[in-house]
Amino acid sequence: MTSSNRLTFKEMCAEFDVTPRTLRYYEYIELLSPEREGRSRFYHPREVARMKLIMRGRRFGFSLEDIRQWLDMYNSEHQNRPQMEAMIEFADKQMGELLSRKQQIEESISELQALRNQVAKDL
């Protein structure tokens, strides 16, 4: 963070390795709300923390709408049982999808390895 404890637009893009277009889109769909001074945007620790959660959610394969709900849960002063149950449901569903993809990838690797070994043997 800069000395004033905030990041500029350019610093935020660099910090999270995202394009300006991506960052502007997250603002457009109201996942982020930077402070504005004229045409400049500044991101305080709250927005940086939200961006960390967004990036984590994207890495987990969550949709932006799922991430919005996740952020809303984190923003709530009083997390309630239905919110926490919804998050568990989101996580369970996504873990199932990730495990399915993992299995597909492992099968593809095995098939490719067998093909590669056959070609190498035929050499």
Q: What is the pLDDT of residues 83-118, one digit of tens each?
A: 778 788 888 988 999 999 999 999 999 999 999 999
52: Cβ–Cβ under 8 A, 6 or more apart, which residues?
16
Say whether both 53 and 23 belong to one domain.
Answer: yes
Q: Are 7 and 52 in contact (CB under 8 A)?
A: no
Fill in the amino acid letter for 112.
Answer: L
Say whether both 18 and 48 belong to one domain.
Answer: yes
Supply the pTM of this predicted model.
0.73
Would residue 93 count as lying in a domain? yes
Q: Where are the beta strands (DSSP E) in the chain?
A: 7-8, 35-37, 40-43
Say whether both 52 and 83 belong to one domain.
Answer: no
Would residue 67 count as lying in a domain? no
Q: Give the residue among 3, 77, 2 at the shortest CA–CA distance from 11.
A: 2
**Final residue belonging to a domain, choices 11, 32, 62:** 62
pLDDT of 70 reads 80
Say whether both 15 and 46 belong to one domain.
Answer: yes
**Final residue belonging to a domain, choices 40, 62, 84:** 62
Fill in the amino acid letter for 95.
Answer: M
Count of domains forming the chain: 2
Q: Are 53 and 67 in contact (CB under 8 A)?
A: yes
Say whether both 12 and 46 belong to one domain.
Answer: yes
Give the CA angle between residues 15, 22, 47 to the nearest 5°.
55
Would residue 69 count as lying in a domain? no
More confident: 100 or 76? 100
